[in-house]
Amino acid sequence: MNVIKKYVMITGFLAMSAMALSGCTKSQEKTGEPTTASTPLDTSKDSSKETEAQPSSDSTDKVIKEGSVEKEGNVILKQLAFVYQDKTISLSNIVDDQKMESLLGKATEIKSHTYSPDDGKNMDPLNGKTEKQYLYPGLVIKTIDGAEDNKSFIFNIEITDPKYPTVRNIKVGDSYELLKETYPEGTLLGGEISNEEDDFRYEPANYVDVMKFHIKDKKVESIQIYTLID
C-alpha cells in the first residue's frame, strides 16, 4: 500500500514538472516573436522622391532685362525717379494738372507750349504736341502729350533742391564719393574726378532714359532725369 502511494506521488510530481516545463517553453516562444509590425517604416526614400518631383519656385521667375520691356513694366526705368513725401515720381508717369497737384502740391507756375512748324523751335517731330512745365522751388517737371489716348507723360525732371532725393537717396549737395558708391553702374564723363565741373551719367541699356548728375566742387549740384522723345 505504501509502495502504491509513493508511485502515485512520484507520477504526479513528474506530471506537474512536465506541465511547468511546457509552459515555460511556450512563454519563451511568445517573447521571441518578431516585432516588425510595430517598427516604424523608413519613408526617407519616398519623401526624397516627392521633394525631387516638386518644381522649384525659382524656375518660374522671370528676369527682366534692361530696356527689353515696355516702360510701364520696366524695373530699370523705375530707378529713374525721385521721392517726395513717400511718393515716387518717375519718367513716363501719366499725369495731368490734378495728378501733379496731388503728388507735389500746387505748382508755383505752369507753362504750356504747343509745337508748330512756325514756332521757331525746329522740333518738327513734335508738331501738334503740347509740352507743359510744372515749376516748383528747386524742381521743374516737363510733360508732353504723346501717350495712349493722347495723355501726357513725364519726359524731363530737373532737380536743384535736396528735398527731392532719388530712389536710392542721393540728393543735391551729396559728395561725389557717395554718389559713385550708390550708383556704381554710372560713368563720369571726364573719366576722373577733379575740382572742375563734370557730369556723372546713370542709364539703362536702352540708351534712351538717362539720369545725369552735374558735379561741381566734387558735389552734386543738380540732377536731371530725362528720356529722349521723337
pLDDT per residue over 76-108, tens digit each?
Answer: 667 899 999 999 999 889 999 999 999 999 999
Instruction: For 170-223, write each residue's pLDDT tens digit.
Output: 999 999 999 999 999 899 988 778 778 999 999 876 678 899 999 999 999 999
| pTM summary value | 0.66
pLDDT digits (tens, 9 = 90+) for 111-162: 999 999 988 888 888 888 999 999 999 999 999 997 677 899 999 999 999 9
Alpha helices in 32-157 (DSSP H): 44-53, 97-104
What letter represents residue 108's amino acid? Answer: T
pLDDT class of 48 with cuts at 50, 70, 90: very low
Cell of 168: 536710392
pLDDT at 47 over 60: no
SS3 140: strand
All three cell numbers of 151: 495723355
**Which pLDDT band, with edges at 50, 70 and 90, does 28 fall under?**
very low
